[in-house]
Amino acid sequence: MTSANNPPDVATAFASQAERYVRWPDRVVTNEVPTVNMRDLHELLGLLQVAAARISAGPPGDEPYREMDFKRISTAQLRPKLPIDSYSVVFDPFEYDPLEQDPPKPVMATIADDLADIYTDLMKGLVLHRDGQHQNALWHWHFSYYTHWGRHLSHAQSAIWQYLSDGNWA
């Protein structure tokens, strides 16, 4: 019987969603996917976000850190396949204090950069998971979700939602 608190079981559950995500850009950059279907991407990111929200915090494992070798996806490989890429976003919506300062200024971001960064962070955890370092994988995915790739995911989701809500269903 599996337990929700058993690191190998939790890691395997999240790894299946991470694998699903990393297969997607792999197919895009190898021209298996001629253009990105934004509705499919929106769903894929939503499922990944649900899976990430289910990972609870825990300490890293005892295994020593080692350099990880894996194929990387670049923004230049993804950008030509996207119907939209650049968007503006407020990086930290909570930095605004109406009594002390002006509202935060939006910054430019790209969906291609978001997708590539998510890929890299997920792959680092997948390398650990495949190596049997389940606790390290969980720790990496959880920590990097709240410090890096989760922000990329939520910002990309928002931009894609806006694109779709403007009637771009294809």
Question: What average pLDDT does the segment 79-103 reach?
Answer: 84
Q: Which phi and psi angles does 15 have, rounded to 5°?
A: -60, -35
Please check whether residue 49 lies inside any domain of the structure: yes
What percentage of the chain carries pLDDT values higher than 90?
A: 56
From CA 162, how far away is CA 4, in angstroms rounded?
35
Q: Is residue 136 part of a domain?
A: yes
Q: Which of 106, 83, 73 is nearest to 34 (CA)?
A: 83
Asked whether residue 170 is assigned to any structural domain, the reply reads no
How many separate domains does the chain show?
1
pLDDT tier, 93 (very low <50, low <70, confident <90, very high otherwise): confident
b vs e for 146-155, b when ≥16 Cβ sit within 10 Å of the residue's Cβ? eeebbbbbeb
Is 1 a member of any domain?
Answer: no
CATH number for 95: 1.20.120.1550
Encode pLDDT of 33-88 as tens digits.
888 999 999 999 999 999 999 898 788 877 766 667 777 888 999 999 999 999 99
Domain assignment present for residue 131? The answer is yes
The pTM for the full model equals 0.87
Give Cβ neighbours of residue 30 (< 8 Å, ≥ 6 apart): none
Q: Is 24 part of a structural domain of the chain?
A: yes
- Residue 36 contacts residue 82 (beta carbons within 8 Å): yes
Q: Evaluate whether residue 50 is within a structural domain.
A: yes
CA distance 123 to 112: 16
In a domain, 17, yes or no: yes
Domain range for 120 is 7-165
Per-residue pLDDT at 144? 95
Please write the tens of the pLDDT for every residue from 110-154: 999 999 999 999 999 999 999 888 899 999 999 999 999 999 999
In tens, the pLDDT along 4-22 reads 456 667 788 899 999 999 9
